[in-house]
Amino acid sequence: GENVEQHPSTLSVQEGDSAVIKCTYSDSASNYFPWYKQELGKGPQLIIDIRSNVGEKKDQRIAVTLNKTAKHFSLHITETQPEDSAVYFCAARINTGTASKLTFGTGTRLQVTL
Amino acid sequence: DAGITQSPRHKVTETGTPVTLRCHQTENHRYMYWYRQDPGHGLRLIHYSYGVKDTDKGEVSDGYSVSRSKTEDFLLTLESATSSQTSVYFCAIRIGYEQYFGPGTRLTVT
């Protein structure tokens, strides 16, 4: 099955700096790569995603890049703010016979310090 | 939360007792999923449903069963709870490619 690795597990940046989180996947059939933000005590929230036919996608301060050849994708957050502090998860989607499934990375705890 | 509610939100139960968690959605989405979240493991798929009475196993399905008798409800049952099933459980629905998660249920098995 699909395997998704995520690095780093923890990341501390100063307010205003950029943060980058990287993920690799194993199955070349994966075709969709979402990123989730999870705040303490809440469910994961979809923040950005990218499909396999696109190399980069941007939404205000966040962007995602995808390198299909190398099987890796990354989340970029610019001009970080304290409210960006949370746990971030990457995932890869693969179709099965009955439904698509997401395989998640193990998460990155981002702390934005003042 | 894409119209998803989970109940109960917190539960403490004893080893060997049966437990049922409920996921309810208000928008008639076809696909529903149950995940568990544990430190160091991210989110792992337990079971999913692709329609009423249509369900299939995920990667960590042992010890769990599911049922979906109505479009809006997807139930997760632990037939005989064990301490290894202490976790936070999330339900999700799928809209197109995107999955949206509920608020979660924290289950503690003592």
Q: Does A93 contact B97 at a Cβ distance shorter than 8 Å?
A: yes
Do the beta carbons of residue B13 and residue B109 sit within 8 Å? yes
| Cβ-based contacts of B43 with chain A (< 8 Å) | 44, 89, 91, 102, 104
Written as one letter, the residue type at B49 is S
Give the pLDDT band of residue A100 (cuts 50, 70, 90). Answer: confident
Interface probe with A: pick from B1, B43, B45, most Cβ of A within 10 Å? B43
- Cβ contact, residue pair A102, B99, below 8 Å: yes
Q: Hey, of B31, B56, B99, B105, which one would you mutate to test binding to chain A, going by the most A CBs within 10 A of its CB? A: B99
The minimum CA-CA distance between A43 and chain B, rounded to whole Å, is 5
Is the separation of the CB atoms in A49 and A71 below 8 Å? Answer: no
pLDDT at A99 (0 to 100): 83
* Closest chain A residue to B39, measured at CA: A106
Contact A104/B at CB under 8 A: yes
DSSP E strands, chain A: 4-7, 10-14, 19-25, 32-38, 45-51, 56-59, 62-67, 72-77, 86-95, 100-104, 108-113
Q: Could you tell me if A45 and A37 are in contact, meaning their C-beta atoms sit under 8 angstroms apart?
A: yes
Give the position of tokens 């050849």: A69
Give the pLDDT confidence of B79-98 residue by residue, as tens digits.
999 999 999 999 999 999 99
Over 80: is that where the pLDDT of A97 sits? no
DSSP labels, B22-45:
EEEESS--S-EEEEEEETTTEEEE
Spell out which residues of chain A touch residue B93, defining contact as CB-CB under 8 Å.
none
| pLDDT score recorded for residue B1 | 57
Q: Are B23 and B35 in contact (CB under 8 A)?
A: no
Edge-to-edge strands, sheet with B4-7: B4-7, B19-25, B73-78, B64-70
β-strand partners of B98: B95
pLDDT tens per residue across all 110 residues of chain B = 578 999 999 999 999 999 999 999 999 999 999 999 998 889 999 999 999 999 999 999 999 999 999 999 999 999 999 999 999 999 999 999 999 999 999 999 99
In a 13 Å sphere around the CA of A81, the CA atoms on its Cβ side amount to 3
Mean pLDDT across chain B = 96
Among B50, B101, B103, the residue with its CB nearest the CB of A99 is B50
- Name residue, tokens 């996947």: A25
What residue has token string 């928008």?
B27
